[in-house]
């Protein structure tokens, strides 16, 4: 009976390690191609720089302010996707939001608060809305890619849509804007 328990414990440990990035998981496909014509930024950090602790799991975990301008004519809806392609088990989706009106040509979401009517989807942690960067301690800095897409048609996604459902609506995007932040713990 002791050998059986040891074998079971070994199998469970191997499964747990594989779930934490020990295996060769399939990566999320590259984001859809679209002209990089939207100016997307945050006043919280420069493109390519470290994300402040306040925006991570080691701080308050609040989302950064998002600012955009330069939307192409004919844009109807904007969709935000924030992903960490360096996550151990493949790309981790930190945030999706859609239903962002494109009619003004510019806008902002102070501290991640979008105007009324904007919907947020499920992140890879299984909750809706923003989940802050929280890479494993000891990892090299992870890259957090913020991408805003302009769509020519409304997405019609329901609140709480899963990341793959959101990505499926990005085919045919008429423009996008991107910036990246990095974060490492410890």
How far from the centroid of its chain's Cα atoms is residue 16's Cα? 24
pLDDT, one tens digit per residue, over 58-108 is 999 999 999 999 999 999 999 999 999 999 999 999 999 999 999 888 999
Spatial separation of the C-alpha atoms in residues 34 and 37, rounded to whole Å: 9
Q: Model's pTM, two decimal places?
A: 0.84
Of 95, 98, 78, 185, give the one whose Cα is nearest residue 144. Answer: 95
Helix or strand or coil: residue 23? coil
pLDDT, one tens digit per residue, over 133-162 is 999 999 999 999 999 999 999 999 999 999
- 54-58, 132-136, 168-172: segment of lowest average pLDDT: 168-172
Q: Considering the domain 29-183, what is its CATH architecture?
A: Alpha-Beta Complex (3.90)
- 8-22, 42-56, 129-143: segment of lowest average pLDDT: 8-22
What are the residue ranges spanned by the domains of the chain?
29-183
The DSSP H or E segment spanning 69 is strand 66-69
- Mean pLDDT estimate for the chain: 86
The DSSP H or E segment spanning 94 is strand 92-101
By DSSP bridging, strand 66-69 and strand 106-109 are antiparallel
The pLDDT of residue 3 = 42
């Amino acid at each position: 009976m002791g050998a059986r328990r040891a074998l079971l414990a070994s199998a469970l440990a191997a499964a747990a390690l594989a779930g934490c990035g020990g295996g060769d998981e399939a990566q999320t496909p590259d984001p859809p191609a679209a002209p990089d014509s939207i100016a997307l930024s945050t006043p919280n950090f420069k493109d390519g720089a470290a994300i402040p602790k306040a925006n991570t799991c080691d701080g308050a975990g609040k989302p950064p302010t998002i600012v955009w301008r330069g939307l192409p004519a004919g844009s109807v809806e904007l969709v935000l996707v924030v992903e960490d392609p360096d996550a151990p088990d493949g790309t981790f989706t930190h945030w999706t939001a859609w239903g962002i009106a494109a009619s003004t040509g510019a806008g902002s979401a102070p501290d991640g608060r979008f105007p009324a009517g904007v919907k947020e989807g499920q992140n890879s942690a299984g909750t809706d809305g923003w989940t802050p960067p929280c890479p494993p301690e000891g990892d090299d800095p992870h890259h957090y890619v913020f991408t805003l897409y302009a769509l020519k048609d409304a997405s019609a996604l329901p609140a709480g849509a899963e990341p793959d459902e959101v990505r499926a609506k990005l085919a045919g995007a008429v423009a996008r804007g991107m910036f990246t932040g990095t974060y490492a713990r410890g």
